[in-house]
Amino acid sequence: MWAHYIDPHGRYVAHPDVVDYGASEPDLYDAEIKWTDQEVGRLLTELARLPSYANTIVVITSDHGDSMGEHTVPLGTHGTALYRELQHVPMIFYIPDNRPRVIHGAVSNLDIVPTVAALCG
């Protein structure tokens, strides 16, 4: 299954079921992160109820970060510069029966498919 959450993404909006952090762009961005976290949590809760959950690999990542006005890059911008804030994104794998650990070094979204294929044999 592929679940794509477009939020948080430019043109940040308030979500009615999320705490109100304020009206500034960074506040709305934080609220969108909170909303996305809630929605991913709902999905994971439902996945855990399925008999196949013990054999389910979950990958959470993003295609880019966003600027909050650092380095004179306009707020909410991406795809125009190579600053860490725009390039460094989470890549989290949940693999049943594997202990949590940090993999050091450079990885990219291109590593997801071969990693999952290797895990599945």
In angstroms, the CA 102 to CA 31 distance is 27
pLDDT digits (tens, 9 = 90+) for 9-59: 878 888 888 889 999 988 998 999 999 999 999 999 999 999 999 999 999
Q: How much is the pLDDT for 65?
A: 85
Q: CA 94 to CA 59: how far, in whole Å?
A: 6
pLDDT digits over 88-113, tens only? 888 999 999 999 999 888 888 999 99
> Measuring CA to CA, which residue among 99, 6, 95 is closest to residue 58?
95
Cβ(31)–Cβ(15) under 8 Å?
Answer: yes
The full length of the chain comes to: 121
